[in-house]
Structure 1
C-alpha cells in the first residue's frame, strides 16, 4: 500500500499501531526520516510490545544521526523482543547494537 493511501486511512481516524508501523516503514524507505520517526514513535506509544517497530525506530534515529537515542530505543526493543520470543527482531537488534558500539 502506498503512503498516500495509508495517510488517507489515518486522516479518516483509523489510527492503529499497524497503520503507524506501515507509515513509519514507508517513510523510512523513502528516506523521510522525521516522519518515519514520528509514526514509529506513535506505533510504540500505541503498542509498546511491537518489537519490529522498536527496531525500525532505532534505525530512524540512527539515520538521523542520533546514536544515543538509537541505542536507547534498540535496548527497549531488545527487551520486548526477548520477552515476546521474537527471535528475528532480537537477532537484528543485537547486530545493530554491536555495530553501534564499534
Structure 2
C-alpha cells in the first residue's frame, strides 16, 4: 500500500489524506521518524485532523521523543475538542495519562 501512496506523491498529488495514509503506513512498519514527517505535513494541510495528531504522537513516542509525543497529543486534544471528535479525545487523554504515569 505504501508504495502506491509514494507513487501518488511522486506524481505531484499532495493532500492531508495522502499524507495521513503515508504516515500510518510508515508507523505500521515501525518507522516513527518517517511517519512523523508525513503526519506533520498532514496537519499542516489540516490542523483539525485529530487522527493525524494522535498518530503523530505515537510516531514521536516510537522514536523516544516523549516531549514531542506530549506536544502532539495536547494539540490533538484541542483539535479533537474543537472538531467534536470524542473518540480521538478519549484516546489521546489516555495516552497522556500513560505518558505521565511512565515518567
Same fold flag (TM > 0.5): yes
- Does 1:46 find its partner at 2:36? no
Return the offset for 1:34. Answer: 1.3
User: How far apart are the structure 2 equivalents of 1:32 and 1:66?
Assistant: 13
Counterpart for residue 66 of structure 2: 67
Equivalent position of 1:16 in the other structure: 15
- Helix, strand or coil: the match of 1:101? helix
Tell me, in whole angstroms, the C-alpha distance in 2 between the residues paired with 1:39 and 1:84. 21
TM-score by length of 2: 0.96
Q: CA deviation at 1:95?
A: 0.3
Give me the whole-angstrom Cα distance separating, in 2, the residues matched to 1:7 and 1:77.
25
Q: Aligned pair count?
A: 101
5+ residue gaps, structure 2: none
1:25 aligns with 2:24: yes
Q: CA deviation at 1:25?
A: 0.2
Deviations along 1:27-85, one digit per CA (max 9) or x if unpaired, are: 00001221101000000111111110000000000110011111011000000001111
Is residue 58 from structure 1 mapped to residue 57 from structure 2 by the alignment?
yes
Runs of 4+ in 1 over 3 A off after TM superposition: none
How large is the RMSD of aligned CA atoms in angstroms? 0.5
